[in-house]
Amino acid sequence: MALHDDRPVLTGLLALVGVGLAVGLVLGGGALAVTRVLGVDGSSATTTATDVGSLYLPRPSETGEPSGPLLTLGAEPGQGASQEPSQEPTEKEKAEKEISLSAGQTQVAPMGQIDLTGVYPGGEGAVLQVQKFVSGGWQDFPVTAVVSNETFATYVQTSAQGVNRFRVVDNDSETASNEVKVTVG
């Protein structure tokens, strides 16, 4: 008797393994040939300076004197660059540096969220420190707010019942806002 007559399952498995080996060898050989033709065979594992793009940076050179009028942008009309700045800030400058603070709530439960928002003209990028009035003085509260587009927003939570007073301070310029009062409890 022949081998394929007695055990048809074993014969089928052997044939499947043989076909799989043949297909694998053909596909592997083809992939190897393609990688060698395309140069992705890994023989050039290191790159040299000529393989990488280069950056051309020209040498600095002297520039000539300006030939046209000099402009200072952002100056008030009628003010030239040669004017000495006054020592005392004007009322307009004082108003531009004031921080205006408001609270979103006037009364909250203990640990309720108190929304603090405000405007700080000319304070772009400033980090404002929230302060709370405690025992006759202002103390830093562990919350800050960053000024963006001359506005800021943050929130605080406290369990101290009664009237709580808050303000924000720009420590860089020592400018303080008005205070807001919120009743907790």
62-66, 125-129, 156-160, 173-177: segment of lowest average pLDDT:
62-66
Average pLDDT over residues 44-65: 65
Closest Cα to residue 164, out of 118, 119, 128, 110?
110
Q: Give pLDDT, residue 134.
A: 92
CA angle 164, 130, 133 (to 5 degrees): 35
Residue 64 vs residues 67, 69, 81, 159, 173: alpha-carbon distances, Å: 8, 14, 22, 67, 40
Domain ranges of the chain: 3-38, 96-184
50 pLDDT above the threshold of 80? no
* 135 to 39, 117, 138, 152: CA distances (angstroms): 78, 25, 8, 27
pLDDT, tens digit (0-9, with 9 covering 90-100), for 61-92: 787 787 777 776 765 555 544 455 556 656 55
23 token code pair: 């297909």
pTM: 0.50
For residues 53 and 75, what is the distance between their CA atoms, to the nearest angstrom? 45
Question: What is the rounded end-to-end Cα distance, in angstroms, of the chain?
Answer: 99
Summarize pLDDT for 20-44 with one digit per residue, the tens.
Answer: 999 999 999 988 888 888 877 565 5
Rounded mean pLDDT, 157-170:
93
Its sign, for the CA torsion 45, 50, 54, 58, is positive
Options 2.40.30.20, 1.10.260.40, 2.60.40.10, 3.40.50.12240; CATH of 96-184: 2.60.40.10
pLDDT in tens, 141-155: 999 999 999 999 999
